[in-house]
């Protein structure tokens, strides 16, 4: 397989993965729709930082060793599931207390909670605590490495394709969310969004915990 063919083939696979609605989509849409643009881009870059780390570890063979250990995989799976369920339930709890989840009322926004660093931490934690990302890279990445190429260099190149597609799609999501921003300034609409997002995130956590 030539390098060009490998890149295009991999782009098709991860393109479909990127477009499939999931946890990343929910986090980006919710954060940017509430007008927190810096935090939204922090989430985006945090997610992509996690993807880069998974790709680098896979290229080095570290992730293959990790996924070969059932105990390590199960431990990370439960930690990731607990984190997602906690985040989702906290969002739901805050909406029923009359506050948008995560302290997103106007006064706190003006006080500086629209934090890029906070979004980055949330994005990278969500990505790295999802062991299925590591399993996906271990299973898929080697299939697109042409014979005779450096596994680490080629792995990073393929991962860069995934990151680039993720950034482009995230820009589309952030732009779409800006259209909804005016409507979402209404407290009732923001509570609805947070309840939907919190339910989605918690459901992903439960699904991760129960998955084999």
Query: pLDDT tens digits for 25-41?
Result: 888 988 888 778 889 99
Q: Give the contacts of 53 (CB within 8 A, at least 6 positions apart).
A: 124, 128
pLDDT for res 91? 80
pLDDT for res 104? 41
Taking a C-beta distance cutoff of 8 angstroms, is the pair 94, 102 a contact? yes
Residue 110's pLDDT band (cuts 50, 70, 90): very low
Alpha-carbon distance 77 to 122, whole Å?
Answer: 17
pLDDT for res 17? 84
Q: Greater confidence, 180 or 149?
A: 149
pLDDT for res 123? 93
Taking a C-beta distance cutoff of 8 angstroms, is the pair 84, 73 a contact? no
Q: Greater confidence, 90 or 160?
A: 160
Alpha-carbon distance 155 to 149, whole Å?
Answer: 10
pLDDT reading at 47 higher than 90: yes
Taking a C-beta distance cutoff of 8 angstroms, is the pair 63, 137 a contact? yes
What percent of the residues of the chain are helix, what percent strand, and what percent coil, each to the nearest 5? 85, 0, 15
Q: What is the percent of the chain with per-residue pLDDT over 90, rounded to a whole number? A: 27
Could you list the residue range(s) of the whole structural domain that residue 100 is in? 3-210
Alpha-carbon distance 200 to 88, whole Å?
Answer: 7
pLDDT for res 32? 86
106-117 average pLDDT score: 54
Count how many domains the chain has: 1
Residue 209: C-alpha distances to residues 64, 82, 91, 203 (Å): 21, 8, 19, 10
Taking a C-beta distance cutoff of 8 angstroms, is the pair 40, 177 a contact? yes
Of the ranges 55-69, 82-96, 116-130, which is most confident?
Answer: 116-130
For the beta carbon of residue 62, count every other beta carbon within 10 angstroms: 12
- Cα angle 18, 165, 146 (rounded to 5 degrees) comes to 95
pLDDT reading at 107 higher than 70: no
Say what the pTM is: 0.78
pLDDT for res 98? 60
Residue 203's pLDDT band (cuts 50, 70, 90): confident
Q: Greater confidence, 178 or 5?
A: 5
- Burial of residue 172, with CB atoms counted within 10 A of its CB: 0-12 exposed, 13-18 middle, 19 or more buried: exposed
Q: What is the percent of the chain with per-residue pLDDT over 70, rounded to a whole number? A: 87
């Amino acid at each position: 397989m030539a390098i060009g063919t490998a890149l295009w083939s991999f782009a098709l696979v991860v393109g479909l993965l990127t477009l499939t609605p999931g946890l990343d989509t929910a986090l980006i849409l919710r954060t940017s729709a509430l007008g927190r643009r810096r935090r939204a881009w922090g989430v985006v870059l945090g997610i992509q930082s996690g993807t880069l780390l998974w790709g680098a570890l896979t290229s080095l063979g570290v992730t293959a060793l990790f996924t070969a250990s059932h105990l390590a995989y199960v431990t990370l799976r439960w930690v990731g599931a607990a984190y997602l369920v906690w985040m989702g339930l906290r969002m739901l709890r805050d909406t029923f207390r009359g506050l948008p989840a995560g302290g997103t009322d106007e006064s706190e926004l003006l006080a500086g909670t629209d934090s890029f660093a906070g979004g980055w931490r949330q994005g990278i934690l969500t990505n790295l605590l999802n062991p299925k990302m590591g399993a996906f890279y271990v299973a898929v990445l080697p299939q697109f490495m042409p014979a005779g190429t450096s596994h680490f260099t080629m792995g990073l190149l393929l991962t860069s394709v995934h990151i680039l597609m993720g950034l482009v799609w995230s820009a589309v999501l952030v732009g779409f969310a800006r259209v909804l921003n005016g409507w979402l300034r209404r407290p009732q609409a923001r509570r609805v969004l947070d309840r939907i997002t919190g339910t989605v995130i918690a459901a992903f956590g439960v699904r991760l915990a129960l998955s084999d």
